[in-house]
Copies of this chain bind each other. A is one copy, B any other.
């Protein structure tokens, strides 16, 4: 029997592979999501690379004089597709976030007389920024090219893990300048840059660092910069006007060819004479530790000046990364969506260590990562849902390293908390929950993280008992967070309850009954938020009464974060059956879901939803935000799986498009893309921390996941078409499957999952 099955699988797999395109990386369109709300960046990077070298199209500050500027929101990734100008190319960018930071070390090549101010978008000639045309723009995996109209310069960007590689081709013989702006930043404001340093080591090598107080409270990034052509002269400007020229340093003219600079806000220019058609290359490496480490990173990763080689090597890394899933898809556009989703789900978290293994920890100390690769930038409120579970299948070794990185964060934290939203040895405390515990439990239960599981459980418990954080103390004492204690008391309570369930699962897995009992009890706290009189989760006062004034459609000020109670009332992924029960059973749940997907959300409520476009909403279901990502799958438990199938395919079709405005909401560090990838494959991790996936309706014709253990898991959609969204039959390794639950082991052991598709709702 085993032998027969093996042969069968091999034939099938072989069959699929034969029809696969030669290149998958060609389907990656980094521009998807760069218009409106996607907040992705179009620039160059390698999988999970520490450098994201990408154009920034404006310099709008987050706040001036302490006053918030809402326009800054568009620039979370530095680039907005509809903007007419490019300010320059900076080396660090988040992908798809809603708040932001980074934008370190902006480089801009210019021609003609020196301009050291960026100028304004309406009149790019007022500064070093340049107009550009999308017709002259190319964005590929690890390659970005654009013509800078104002300067007559063709700019090309590529990267290795820690090093950006710039190639600038000058059209005419002229005076040229490379501007290095250390004051530039994303979500910038007056005093965000705390300190900057630049050292000009010789006529083609520059090092330095930038220390900021932004979303990351204390963040220092070091750099090393190397020019292929020696600069003729150079100079600096310090934009705070005082500190760099303070004291006896005034003895020097620090603006002119002075190699030893420090101040609050440095901007540099390097000057060249170029011939027509001449190319100037720049290598620009980063380090979280030191300038010497940045130099070593550069010299190790790119010990040459062959731009095309680095571009090709990065492209090869992407091809290898994408080959982890070899999919056949109905249309060319689907290929683009699928592999761009895989691309977007391989940008963050990013490598956070130098080639020698060193990184700067949360304790401000330099550590050496031992036995793991260190990663940073964990947007956990988003990514625990599908992104990390996706890695547990497709890229488990990286996810194990990410869990190890979270554990290192915990060990270095004086608060003794796992990361909430961490980047660059900081926690920025954005969003809610303590969802590290979900990622950790999921990775251990699925056998992905093989580090010290007892220590991991201890860290989870410590975090869940951080009484000072976001109402946890009240939550522990009362079983819910009172409305008056916290502005997002309901969503916090719901999320904590889910997280507690994850801790319970981990405790059970480790045989720690004591911990299990505590946390399984806590995991039922969601019940305390449910107001059966209205059938919704609802803010509750300390005295036990529910808040009187309450709007079920409104997102703001109702006790939830990024979601109204219509969406959040379904947030009990750890116990959907229990939720269905309090809601009144199968039919009641089904009606609720039907309403969710069809109620028209009046404009006045839409205005207060966050991070999404109008298109990011289906009825009152908000796919552009995360809390309802599991919701379409809940029809399964209500006994109407065909509605799950219908809705999933509808969301796949409506919410993901080719083109710059292809994402209806923030990609959120790969979570939106991971939803797409799971759902395209026909299953979804409704409750990470369990070993179960709920079935949906595959978009792929077939897909083979090349597992790290050497096995293959193949999904096949028989009779697949755009209309055939309904599943008639599911076969696992040739045997009909009952129910809607696929186990992690079914995948990881390799095998074949076949869906027989139809245009009519089936029983299953």
- Interface residues, chain A, CB within 8 Å of chain B? 66, 191, 194-195, 197, 199-201, 209, 211, 213-215, 217-218, 242-243, 246-249, 251-253, 258-260, 262, 264, 290-292, 363-366, 413-415, 421, 428-430, 468-470
Contacts and interface: CB of A to CB of B under 8 A. Distances in A.
Nearest to A222: B364
A259 B197 contact: no
16 contacts: A191-B243, A195-B213, A195-B218, A199-B414, A209-B364, A213-B264, A217-B247, A217-B249, A251-B429, A252-B429, A252-B468, A259-B414, A290-B364, A291-B364, A292-B365, A366-B366
Contacts of A209: 364
B251 A470 contact: yes
A31 to B, nearest CB: 30
A68 to B, nearest CB: 12
Given A194-B195, A290-B365, A366-B290, A429 B248 contact: yes
A485 to B, nearest CB: 12
A421 B251 CA distance: 13
B363 A291 contact: yes
A243 to B, nearest CB: 5
A585 B428 CA distance: 76
A81 to B, nearest CB: 28
A260 B217 CA distance: 11
B251 A217 contact: no
A260 B414 contact: yes
A363 B199 CA distance: 8
A429 B249 contact: yes
A365 B296 CA distance: 13
Nearest to A218: B262
B213 A246 contact: yes
Contacts of A243: 191, 213
A268 to B, nearest CB: 14
A196 to B, nearest CB: 10
Contacts of A363: 199, 291-292
Nearest to A253: B468
A195 B195 contact: yes
Given A248-B428, A259-B415, 4 more contacts: A200-B414, A248-B429, A290-B365, A292-B363
B66 A242 contact: yes
Contacts of A414: 199-201, 259-260
Given A217-B247, A468-B252, A470-B251, A260 B195 contact: no
B194 A194 contact: yes
Highest count of chain B CB atoms <10 Å: which of A66, A214, A248, A252: A248
Given A194-B194, A252-B469, A290-B366, A428 B247 contact: yes
Contacts of A66: 242
B430 A365 contact: no
A364 B293 CA distance: 12
A217 B262 contact: yes
A212 to B, nearest CB: 10
A366 to B, nearest CB: 7
Highest count of chain B CB atoms <10 Å: which of A195, A253, A414: A414
A227 B693 CA distance: 53
A357 to B, nearest CB: 16
Contacts of A248: 215, 421, 428-430
A259 B466 CA distance: 13
A576 to B, nearest CB: 30
A365 B470 contact: no
Contacts of A468: 252-253, 258
A415 B262 CA distance: 13
A19 to B, nearest CB: 49
Highest count of chain B CB atoms <10 Å: which of A262, A364, A470: A364
A205 to B, nearest CB: 10
A469 B258 CA distance: 11
Nearest to A195: B194
A547 to B, nearest CB: 21
Nearest to A202: B414
A414 to B, nearest CB: 5
A423 to B, nearest CB: 12
Contacts of A366: 290, 366
A562 B248 CA distance: 16
A242 B214 CA distance: 12
A468 to B, nearest CB: 6
Which 4 A-B pairs give the minimum distances between C-beta atoms? A248-B429, A199-B414, A259-B414, A260-B414
Given A199-B363, A414-B200, A251 B290 contact: no
A504 to B, nearest CB: 26
Contacts of A194: 194-195
A678 B66 CA distance: 60
Contacts of A415: 259-260
Contacts of A197: 218, 364
Highest count of chain B CB atoms <10 Å: which of A200, A258, A468: A468
A687 B243 CA distance: 38
A332 B7 CA distance: 104
A253 B66 CA distance: 20
B469 A251 contact: yes
A264 B469 CA distance: 23
A204 to B, nearest CB: 14
Contacts of A252: 429, 468-469
